[in-house]
Structure 1
Amino acid sequence: METALYLLPVTLGDTPVENVLPVYNKEIILGIKHFIVEDVRSARRFLKKVERSIDIDSLTFYPLNKHTSPEDISGYLKPLMSGESMGVISEAGCPAVADPGADVVAIAQRKNLKVVPLVGPSSIIMSVMGSGFNGQSFAFHGYLPIEPGERAKRIKVLEQRVYSEDQTQLFIETPYRNNKMAEDILKNCRPQTKLCIAANITCEGEYIKTKTVKEWQGKLPDLSKIPCIFLIYK
């Protein structure tokens, strides 16, 4: 296998690995001894899920999260610079997309090191696919402001972009605040604006439904404590 920084997608929940990841990914994973990971415990669980016989204790893990310094991140790539392949693992889905893995990929690119993204589930892409919204032009905004006034203002700005730029707008919320987010969208968007709620993508209980704001009124599902993406479009 070619020496590179491999970006290794993981499942979005308890989905069986074989349902969402190619066999090729497993072959690559088994050839890697150094992993840069968002969370060491979940990364170890994922690797055991890929191959039960894998010797976890023989592997080296480098934590990468919002507390990791740029100096530490740069030092993580020493094995790669010495000719050993490395893997990047996110908490869920695709690394480096709405994920701190992007920082190490940027350093690898600056150092002219080979980067190889592998195929796997992306809740962002899959929610656009399932929404029926514009897949030619869309923007993912991550988390919106928590403060009610700022949040309302941001929702209205994003809705305006739907109409002025013909662009699908995507954003997320912490799972325990999903219900409040859905209510805020209904409160601040026009009745004819379409809202798609995409939850538990690729997992048991997957829910992807598109309706107008007016049609959603009084009919919102309970979204508490489940991973969810909200999309708005016209």
Structure 2
Amino acid sequence: MTLYLLPNLLGSNLDHSLFLPISVDHAVSTLDGLIAESEGGGRRYLKQFSTKKKPHEMPIALLKSSAQKNELDFLLEPVINGENWGVVSDCGLPCLADPGAALVRRARYHNLLVHTFSGPSSITHALVLSGLSGQSFHFHGYLPKEPKERAKTLKVYEKTLRTTHIFIEAPYRNLHTYQACLDTLKPTTLLSVATQLTTPEEWIQTAPISWWRTQKEISSKIMKKPTIFLFTAEK
């Protein structure tokens, strides 16, 4: 019947009623099953809500980023047959830097009803809180892992003036990415670093690269913590 794209919290031990609209509670209460990145993450999500079935009894199907059309169609089969299923990421919104887009595309192919909700997104939260341009921005996902390619990519992005470039990194690689920005970007380029958004430990700072190069305590703030990087070259 309906495929619900469900927002999730950006941190653990948070009250979902403070961040998610009440319409999400209603949608989850109608679910016959859930499509998730991981079974554990899916079960933890369901435990926050009142559900038709007990969370440990709710069918959970796993969505792989490499799923092919036949696998996606298999996931959608219950919806095609008249059931309500949800899609949830381990954090944030499905389809934004997370699996889900291909599944929604197949749902459109089958003319299924797809519904989404407003909710936390580290990408948009970081952009709004950074003070950088929200009129022209580009989300790039992950930077290349190889140092030379990473530096080359940053230089290419920096040539696009007055555009906010946004990228993410695996938490254990945050320091590599941060240092690459300091080593590669111009002193006048504005860099924003946002970590642990919406949690009590939230921290965000925006300043020229020249300022960041003088800071000695940044590593402890971002090491192995979910972090978003943004920068804008203004000249």
TM-score by length of 1: 0.93
Q: What SS does the corresponding residue of 2:65 show, helix, strand or coil? A: coil
Q: 2: distance between equivalents of 1:48 and 1:12?
A: 16
Is this contact kept in 2: 1:196–1:209, CA < 8 A?
yes
Gaps of 5+ in 1: none
Residue 9 of structure 1: aligned partner: 7
For residues 156-187 of structure 1, what are the alpha-carbon distances to aligned partners after superposition, in whole Å with 9 as ceiling and x for unaligned?
111112x1xx3110001110111121111011
Q: CA 1:53–1:224 in 2, change beyond 3 Å: closer, same or farther?
A: farther
Distance 2:143 2:176 in 1: 12
Alignment of 1:1-234 (within 5 A): 3-14=1-12, 15-51=14-50, 55-161=54-160, 163=161, 166-219=162-215, 221-222=218-219, 223-233=222-232, 234=234
How many corresponding residue pairs? 229
Q: What percent identity do the matched residue pairs reach?
A: 37
- Cα contact 1:10–1:94 (8 A) shared by 2: yes
User: 1:52 Cα shift?
Assistant: 8.8
Q: Is the 8 A contact 2:2 2:79 kept in 1?
A: yes
TM-score normalized by the length of structure 2: 0.93
Deviations 1:88-134 (A, max 9, x none): 01111000111111111110011111111111101111111001111
Q: Distance in 2 between matches of 1:4 and 1:51?
A: 18
| 1-structure distance, mates of 2:56, 2:201 | 35
Q: Deviations over 1:10-43 (max 9, x none)?
A: 0011122112111221111011011111111111
Q: CA RMSD in A?
A: 1.6
